[in-house]
Amino acid sequence: MPDSARPAPVIDWTRYDAVLFDLDGVLTATARLHAAAWTRLFDDYLAQRAAAHGERFRPFEPRDYAQYVDGRPRYDGVRAFLASRGITVPDGAPDDPPERETVSGLGNRKNALFFAILATEGVDTITGTVAVVRHVRRHGVRTAVVSSSRNCAAILDAAGIADLFELQVDGVAAEQRGLAGKPAPDTFLHAARALGVAPARAAVVEDAIAGVAAARAGGFALVVGIERAGAPGDLLRAGADRVVTNLADTLPDGAGPAAAAAVEDAG
């Protein structure tokens, strides 16, 4: 078994000048909400399209989410998935209404579905990751959130953890600065520059194939993947140095999984 596929050893997080964290599925348990919104969007759209064209309906599958959508900016995810099915629609404009059959319209429909689900289910943090954030902050390591989500600030505020990060680079910031989305490394590199930290002195924590690939392409010193879809090999192949199911497993004695909840409560 390759070393990177074994249970993760303790990581000395304090050796890095900064740790950059993805949001959905890493800091907050919102990845399943996004997956549900994407599934509802594409299943409805594909069913309508199949009926209109007399085609066989092929539903949106978990593998589609992982391969084409997860970790990418919203409109890029729409384009990538539709292209995988040989479907082309106009890009449209960012203010397209959700019912319009354009990349922007479909992306906006997904966003509306996500917020409808979020309003019902709320936002939970992922305790193990938050324990690591608090651990590195206590040791003077700088922290940032790097997310493709345009709703990053709202989700961090709703989760009550916005104050744990000195920088947020999200989908809005990427658009304003002309940064390519994941799997391009641009957003991670921008965050490192803004913190004044070289990628070779920084670590990245991700759960998406696109995000891991982006961090690896950026030349970061350590890329840790959080496995939540039962396919750690996908993250390893994308460039993760380590894959874990609970980031708190990488903490030293006294701050590991058993203490994660206590660490968070103490914060």
| Catalytic positions | 22, 24
CA dist 35 and 62 (Å) reads 8
| Nearest C-alpha neighbor of 102 from the set 114, 112, 113, 88 | 88
CB atoms within 10 A of CB 126: 24
Q: Specify whether the CB–CB gap between 243 and 236 falls below 8 A.
A: yes
For residues 105 and 124, what is the distance between their CA atoms, to the nearest angstrom? 28
Counting every residue, how long is the chain?
267
Are the CB atoms for 164 and 134 separated by under 8 Å? yes
